[in-house]
A = this chain, B = another copy of it.
């Protein structure tokens, strides 16, 4: 019996350290006053037809269910979250939601890309402002910092609103084609990008000018606004981006960069767009998002500004592993309880209940056979302490506690276990 291609079995050696990713994202969301939502993993396929563009629809796990409905395994969060938002008329704006769900895409599996993945998402609805933009991007930064990645990533920002103006001014009419060319710039290089832009109808001199303007990233404080003065009054759109970048810098311990080549694939963005990359350039983007103010009105009669991002589990896990930040921590509060005769098992159960109440990870031996092999098992499995109920202890009503790190042991009364911390103090 085999696993499906592109799907992962995650055994404890990976699943246990991975819990850190979910825990940090959840705790930071709460501190930022985002509230959790949960939603279906299956939706009508039409939900994606409406807004995601054919590329994504072509990559869905879609099928016809037993009730003859055309459905899809959710490929991304946003359409569902907007569906939920617009289904409720009683919500007080701003709404700040986060979620942690699984998604599926039928793409060719490769390093960093699986057909099933988990993704953290966070959005603020109801406010169109640089403050809301910066809060969402700030949350993203603080999650990465809290995971230990401060200084190991760059947060890159751009504005689709500004890019639209800039590209129109420079003779670009097929915006989607231009975004798609710029999106690949880092991979394909300047010359190929210019060639591609020309192919989509941009004059060579304009294409070169575009590349001159977008090729380099700048810190929000050192951004060369003057290079864009030819845009006249429209430069204001750039100012909002720069102001957002400055606010994000307050949150982040890593570099924040205005990078006009960051445009994001999805068609529905209307304002700020952002992506975080590892500084070594090894991986695809760690997370990404942006402002999408027109999506709610596409799906309902409500106009609801929105800004948010998603962070998949695959790249962040690879990056944390590579950085040595995803190791199992030594469990110092852990006890393995050994015994030498069946009749003491009741005592083991009672000790287990007591130690777990005190927060200890506690394992009862599953065989009374050899005390020394039980102790070896305790060491091998990384327990800090062994509690031994042997023949002598059973008669005397005692337990021997052994610190497996130091080898020091003490025989104590069972009732002393009600404050285990104190035994080796």
Contact = CB atoms under 8 A, between A and B. Distances in A.
Interface of A: 1-5, 7-12, 15-16, 18-19, 28, 30-33, 35-44, 46-47, 50, 61, 63-67, 69, 71, 73, 79, 83-84, 86-88, 92, 94, 96-97, 102, 104, 106, 116, 124, 127, 129, 131-132, 134-135, 138, 142, 247, 250-251, 299-300, 334, 345-346, 349-350, 352-353, 356, 359-364, 366-367, 380-381
A243 to B, nearest CB: 10
Contact of A36 (B19, B67, B129): B19
Which of A102, A124, A300 counts the most B-chain CB atoms under 10 A from its CB? A102
Contact of A84 (B11, B66, B79, B352): B11
Contact of A16 (B35, B42, B359): B35
Contact of A65 (B28, B66, B106, B360): B106
B12 A37 contact: yes
9 contacts: A9-B40, A31-B359, A33-B362, A61-B66, A65-B106, A67-B106, A134-B349, A138-B349, A247-B346
Contact of A116 (B11, B35, B41): B41
Task: Please name the 3 residue pairs, one residue from A and one from B, whose CB atoms are nearest each other, closest first.
Answer: A63-B63, A12-B35, A7-B40
A35 B251 CA distance: 35
B2 A132 contact: no
Contact of A37 (B10, B73, B94, B300): B10
Contacts of A86: 1
Interface centre among A97, A106, A363, A366 (most CB of B within 10 A): A366
Nearest to A33: B363
B61 A36 contact: no
Contacts of A9: 37-40, 84, 87
Contacts of A36: 12, 15-16, 19
Given A11-B88, A30-B361, A32-B363, 5 more contacts: A2-B44, A8-B39, A12-B35, A15-B36, A127-B366
Q: Which of A36, A87, A361 has the most CB of B within 10 A?
A: A36
B106 A66 contact: yes
Given A8-B40, A35-B12, A83 B363 contact: no
A170 to B, nearest CB: 32
